[in-house]
Amino acid sequence: MSLPYVLLLHGLNGSGPTHWQNWLAGELAHHGAQVDMPLFTEPDGPALDVWLPELRAHLMAAPTTGERVVVAHSLACLLWLHHAASSPDPATRVDRVLLVAPPSVDCPEPAITTFVPAPTDADGLRRAAATTRLVVGDGDAYCTLDQAKLLAEALRVELDVIVGGAHLNVDAGYGPWTAVLKWVRSDRTPLTPR
C-alpha cells in the first residue's frame, strides 16, 4: 500500500521537536512517504495575510498524482478554514484533511486576532478537500467540547473526541500518537488517544 503525500501544518509557536507532528513526519518519512512540514513566517506572531499565501504555495508545490493529505493542528485549523472559504484554486484541492484541536472560531487569544472570527463554510470545505475530519480533546482551554460540536455541525464533518486529550499537544502528552499515523494510512480509522 502506497502512502499519501502529507502536508503537516503547525499552530501558534510551531511544533517543537517532541510534538506529535514531528513524530508523525519522522514515521511517515521512515516508511517512504513524501512529507512537507513548513515553518510558517513568525510562528510566534502569526498573520493570516502572510500564512495563507504560504499555505497555498505549499499546496501548489504538492505532487499532482497520488493521494494528498493535510494534517493541521490548532491555529492551522483556522488557517485551513480561511483557505477553504475563499474559493481556492482547484489545483490546491486535496483528498483528505484532519483538523486537530482547533481553537474556537472566535477564540479571544490575542496572538491570533487576524485569524478570528474564522469562517465555517461547509461548501467551501468540500471544495478544498474531498473529506475532512475533526478531532478534539475534552478539557481544551482553547475550544470547549460544546464549541467543537457546534463547529463539526456547521462544517458537516465527523468529530472524534479524545477523553482527557486537552489541546492534543506535548503538554497533554501527545508526542508519539499512533492513531494519527493509522488515520493517514486509512481514513476509516477513528482517532483514539495516544
Asked whether the whole model's pTM tops 0.75, one would answer yes
**pLDDT confidence bin for 190, thresholds 50/70/90:** confident
For residue 166, being part of any structural domain is answered with yes
Q: How far apart are CA 155 and CA 150, in angstroms?
A: 9
Grid coordinates of 164: 482527557
Find the domain containing 166 and state its range.
5-185
Find where cell 505532487 sits. Answer: 63
- Condensed to tens digits (0 to 9), the pLDDT of residues 34-70 reads 999 999 999 999 999 999 999 999 999 999 999 999 9
Q: How far apart are CA 156 and CA 37, in angstroms?
A: 27
For residue 192, being part of any structural domain is answered with no
CATH of the domain at 22: 3.40.50.1820
23 CB contacts (<8 Å, ≥6 apart)? 175, 176, 177
- Condensed to tens digits (0 to 9), the pLDDT of residues 4-31 reads 999 999 999 999 999 999 999 999 999 9
For residue 191, being part of any structural domain is answered with no
**pLDDT confidence bin for 131, thresholds 50/70/90:** very high
pLDDT the model gives residue 41? 97
For residue 98, being part of any structural domain is answered with yes
For residue 129, being part of any structural domain is answered with yes
For residue 193, being part of any structural domain is answered with no
For residue 190, being part of any structural domain is answered with no
For residue 102, being part of any structural domain is answered with yes
Amino acid (one-letter) located at 162? I
Total domain count, the chain:
1
